[in-house]
A = this chain, B = another copy of it.
Amino acid sequence: MLKLQRWFSRNQLFEQVVCKKAGHVDHAFGSHPFSSGVGIPGQKFTNTVPKNENDRVYAAYNVYKGKAGVSMFPCLPTFTKLESGSLVIDRRGSILLTFFPAIGERKYDWTKKQFFSLNPTEVGTLISLGPRDSCEFFHDPGMLSSTAGQVRKSLSIKAHADGNGYFISLNVVNNTQSTKEFLSVPFTAGEFSVMKTACSFALPHILGWDRLTKPSLGMEKGFQPNKVNREGLSLEWKR
């Protein structure tokens, strides 16, 4: 149990950091005004464009509905380069969900956004859901720190009774500020299919397995990544 909680904690810390960061630049990945996914060109955000972030790509998949919207995109893992030249994964990637409430027809209040970061196992759960399945994930951003229990987030994915779509809802309870926020976005079967297909595509990448299977560009000695020295085996076999 504690094990799970520690993971939740890391996830939530991550979400906090993203929040703080977003607070400074008034911006979050995947929620860029230019990347309005399903095409609502009229909406206006006051976000500023991020600076000093070269080579970023903004291409979130967004679903806008009457009471709220949600934006999703993958965060790749980070690697550390050892002296030997090997790369060791430092932190797993995730799928970051950003929820935001509607404040009018096709207008959304971006300053009230809430984050929920899906770890690989949560992504695995999501993509294995059948048309009548549901699931719920719990995160505590302050877990294992002095702020443990102050904020509690839960994400629920609940199938429609007719098996023809889902409600994806985020619940954030802040005990310190005595606030509760509930943001719920209905997904059609088609929208959920996009989410599942995109998350299935992204999962090996957020695990870092795309790096395991690709030779390094332009490096001949990188030709057989993860090659195990099998001379002993071959010798033994030829006898």
Contacts and interface: CB of A to CB of B under 8 A. Distances in A.
Interface of A: 2-3, 6-7, 10, 13-14, 16-18, 20-21, 29, 32, 34-35, 37-42, 49-59, 61, 64, 73-80, 82-92, 105-106, 119-128, 135, 145, 188-195, 197-198, 200-205, 207-213, 216-219, 221-230, 232-233, 236-237, 239
B55 A7 contact: no
B6 A40 contact: yes
Contact of A198 (B41, B203, B229): B203
A194 B57 contact: no
A88 B45 CA distance: 15
A156 to B, nearest CB: 15
A10 B123 CA distance: 32
A91 B230 contact: yes
A121 B194 contact: yes
A193 B191 CA distance: 20
Most B-side CB within 10 Å, residue of A127, A204, A211:
A204
A198 B190 contact: no
Q: Which of A74, A192, A225, A227 has the largest number of chain B CB atoms within 10 A?
A: A227
Given A54-B86, A189-B128, A197-B200, A92 B236 contact: no
A107 to B, nearest CB: 11
B35 A221 contact: no
Contacts of A53: 84-86
Nearest to A190: B125
B191 A121 contact: yes
B190 A59 contact: no
Given A76-B225, A237-B13, A51 B189 contact: no
